[in-house]
Amino acid sequence: MILSWITIALSGYLLLAFTGIADKFLVSKVVRQPIAYAFYTAITGPFSLVLAPFGAKLLSPHDFVVALVSGICFITFIYFSYSAIRESSVSRVMPIQGGLVPMFVFLFSYLILGERLAGSQTFGFLFLVAGAVLISFRKEHGAWTHKALLFASLAAAFLAMSSVLTKYIFDHSNFISGMVWTRIGFIIPILPILMFKKNRKAIFNAPKEAGVRNAVLYYSSRATGTVGGFLQNYAVSLGSVSVVSALQGTQFVFLLLLTSFFSVYFPSVLKEKINPAVIALKLMAIILISFGLYLITK
């Protein structure tokens, strides 16, 4: 049974890797305003209602508030994550989030859900986190700014809180209810976002800046991200939120394979530095992640 929800999580992270490739291109070359990403993600919230006839249940007032807060936390994560990328780069932000998100999830799930990992799972968790940080690390010139580090850390904390609160709803209701009501929480930040003229300008200029071709890429990436997120959440509903979060390291393995492919065959689209030192570092990370997977499934 453990293998079943881990397989679902891995499938989700594969799709999220495709989303990561597209977002890396869009953030660096097309849409540079984090608030636009947050807004266009937020307006997808009501679409979750299409799942309601398939088993959504009414929640108690307390659980409904928890679900809404989970959705708000996710949109806040989107904003801070892209803010960190704008201040620094994807290559600097990913290792921070790859390491901090599982740690925050482990802490929050311990405090809120009372989740405990078995001995071998704990060691597997640590190997997965170490592998995630290692495989997403890339040496670059320049230094972190305090603002970029703060934004990346806040993004990790908000994503972790969203994941744990969503797991809470899964445990207290069911999967469909969690997917519907947490996504309704997405729409709550929309009004505060639109209150500011600067935000409205960035949001409504984003489609023009992107152009038709890049707009298709953006919505395609949102589609793979939506399905990937659905699978990731389904895995959370079936198993440990801490382990599913730590499995994010496998997303970086998929990213490595995809970026290597594009760098070799389509360098005009995406170019990554590939040399023996980089390959050795990534292989070491893959070994750590593989050993972590072994420990949590044994």
Over residues 15-38, mean pLDDT: 74
Nearest to 81 by CA among 92, 71, 70: 92
pLDDT at 209: 67
Please tell me the distance from the alpha carbon of residue 31 to that of residue 39, in angstroms, as a whole number: 13
pLDDT at 59: 95
Which residues, at least 6 apart from 33, have a Cβ–Cβ distance to it below 8 Å?
202, 203, 206
Between 243 and 180, residue with greater pLDDT: 180
Q: What is the pLDDT of residues 106-165, one digit of tens each?
A: 899 999 999 888 778 888 888 888 887 777 666 555 555 678 788 889 999 999 999 999
> Do residues 126 and 244 make contact, with C-beta atoms less than 8 angstroms apart?
no
* Residue-wise pLDDT tens digits, 51-85: 899 989 999 999 999 999 999 999 999 899 888 87
Q: What is the DSSP letter of 112?
A: I
Transcribe 65-104 into DSSP letters: HHHHHHHHHHHHHHHHHHHHHHHS-HHHHHHHHHHHHHHH
Distance CA 150, CA 73 (A): 16
Give the model's confidence band at 3: pLDDT under 50 very low, under 70 low, under 90 confident, else very high: low
Calculate mean pLDDT across residues 46-55.
88
Parent domain of 127: 2-297
Cα-atom radius of gyration of the chain, to the nearest Å? 19
Burial (0-12, 13-18, 19+ Cβ within 10 Å), 249 = buried
Q: What is the pLDDT of residue 171?
A: 94
Q: Residue 269: which pLDDT band, with cuts at 50, 70 and 90?
A: low
Residue 212: its pLDDT value, please? 64
Rounded mean pLDDT of 242-258?
Answer: 82
Count up the domains in the chain and report the number.
Answer: 1
Tell me how far apart the alpha carbons of residues 37 and 132 are, in angstroms, rounded to a whole number.
Answer: 25
Per-residue pLDDT at 2 exceeds 70? no
CA–CA separation, 134 and 255 (whole Å)? 13
Could you tell me the two tokens for 56? Answer: 């959504």
- Say yes or no to pLDDT of 267 above 70: no
Residue range 153-200, pLDDT digits in tens? 999 999 999 999 999 999 999 999 999 999 999 999 998 899 888 888
Biggest CA–CA distance in the chain, Å, is: 56
> What letter represents residue 174's amino acid?
N
Whole-number pLDDT of residue 245: 87
Mean pLDDT estimate for the chain: 82
Q: What is the pLDDT of residue 64?
A: 96
Mean pLDDT of 96-103: 82
Distance in angstroms (rounded) separating the CA atoms of residues 272 and 287: 21
Q: At what angle do helices 90-108 and 146-172 cross, to 10 degrees?
A: 40
Average pLDDT over residues 222-241: 89
Helix (H) or strand (E) holding 113: none
Residue 159 vs residue 23, higher pLDDT: 159
Scanning the structure block, which residue is given the tokens 């409504």?
Answer: 204
Half-sphere exposure at residue 199, Cβ-oriented, CA atoms within 13 angstroms: 15
